[in-house]
Amino acid sequence: MKVSVKVPATSANLGPGFDCMGLAIPLYNTITIEETVLPGTGVEINVLAGEDMESELHLDHIPMDENSIIYRAVELLYNSIGQTPSELKITIQSQIPIARGLGSSASVIVGGLIAANELLGRPADEVALLSIATEVEGHPDNVTPAIVGGLVITSQEDDGSIVYKKLDWPEEWHLTVCVPDYELATDISRSVLPKEVPMHDAVFNAQRMAMFVHAIHTKDDELMKLALKDKLHQPYRMKLVPGLEKIIANLKHEEDVLGTVLSGAGPSILIVSKGNSQDKIKTIVRDTWADLNVKVQIFDTTIEKQGATILTQEDD
């Protein structure tokens, strides 16, 4: 039996929503898991670059053995029903850049879990899948929109369960995703964050999260400009993303730009805007990074409302 699952990229944090907010983006990884017929062959993992990939660097950080996060996710699911995975072939068709802050690891975890769940006859419901995915990923801000799609506020409770709420993103607000040609591992990006933050910074982010939710509901452009700010992670990560501070400064005075934020742990940048300002945004970002000899891929996009999707399910 063979199952293929398509999983969207994700962008987490979105400024004030550190570790609790993310959205799905229409850029995808496809994960296929099939049961092999030869006993004792173990688990085989293959990674294929998508046609849109510009560099093999996108594939450098995916282990091809049982140390892979996708294997760990599948193993946890099997163990939850008293089984051990064996004789599986896992293929990842990769279109989401790795180590760029676009949820590549979350997509692999989610795709592996959903495909394995189908192979096993769907023993796990959405609650269980979210819990297992978060256990492997470490936090729910990327895995939740990868599973359910859209813009999601999410929390991991003390018992390990995941609570989430989807919000309706205003269609008139555009997203521009800017992906520089260098990588930034999440563990490095997290290492610069302080273990404690000043009370006024925590209050600042709580205020901004409240503004964010209200701005989404009311489609309030000016409120969103205030909401897309942060003091918990972006100021500390700024030094790891050369050019980010200057890009923010250069876009700050563009009337149609609502905000510029790090995508996840970076180094990709997410720009929220309205109107027909995308071409000007692209020019500013390209020129700013070009001064630092940084090449960049830029995508004009919208939110992917649908999460992980089962493409095929075949019996051998």
Pairing label, strands 174-180, 151-156: unpaired
Contact 298, 288 (CB under 8 A): no
| Section 122-128 average pLDDT | 96
CATH of the domain at 49: 3.30.230.10
Residues 138 and 242 both lie in one domain: no
Residue 291: give the domain boundaries.
174-301
| Same domain, residue pair 308 and 291 | no
Asked if 171 and 94 count as a contact pair (C-beta separation under 8 A), the reply is no
Mean pLDDT (the chain) is 90
* Distance separating alpha carbons of residues 245 and 129, to the nearest angstrom: 38
Q: Is 15 left (phi over 0), alpha (psi -120 to 50) or beta?
A: left
Q: Which residues of 62-101 are buried (b: 16+ CB within 10 A; e: fewer)?
A: beeeeebbbbbbbbbbbeeeeeebeebbbbbbbbbbbbbb
Pairing of strands 43-49, 88-94: parallel
150 and 273, same domain (yes or no): no
SS3 assignment, position 175? strand
For 81-163, where are the alpha helices, taking DSSP H only? Answer: 104-119, 126-137, 140-148
Query: What percentage of the chain reaches a pLDDT higher than 70?
Result: 91
Enumerate residues 6+ apart whose C-beta is below 8 A from 208: 15, 16, 226, 227, 228, 229, 230
Number of domains into which the chain is organized: 2
Q: Indicate whether 182 and 125 sit together in one domain.
A: no
Q: 183 near 294, Cβ under 8 Å?
A: no
pLDDT in tens, 261-287: 999 999 999 999 998 889 999 999 999
Q: What is the pTM of this model?
A: 0.91
Q: Are residues 83 and 183 in the same domain?
A: no
DSSP secondary-structure letter at 239? G
217 and 146 together in one domain:
no
Residue 182 sits in the same domain as residue 253: yes
pLDDT tens profile 200-254: 999 999 999 999 999 999 999 999 999 999 999 999 999 999 999 999 999 988 9
Do 162 and 189 belong to one domain?
Answer: no
Q: Which helix (H) or strand (E) holds 12?
A: strand 2-13
Query: Over 60: is that where the pLDDT of 312 sits?
Result: yes
Please state, as a whole number, how many other Cβ atoms lie within 10 Å of the Cβ of residue 235.
13
CATH number at residue 215: 3.30.70.890
* DSSP code for 68: S
What pLDDT shows up at residue 47? Answer: 81
Q: Is 181 found in the same domain as 118?
A: no
3-class SS shares of the chain: helix, strand, coil, % to 5: 35, 30, 35
**215 shares its domain with 85:** no
Contact by Cβ (8 Å): 121, 35: no
In this predicted model, what pLDDT tens digit does every residue of 16-73 receive, in sequence order? 999 999 999 999 999 999 987 666 556 778 888 765 544 443 444 455 556 688 989 9
- Residues in CB range of 184: below 8 A, 6 or more apart: 99, 100, 101, 240, 241, 265, 266, 267
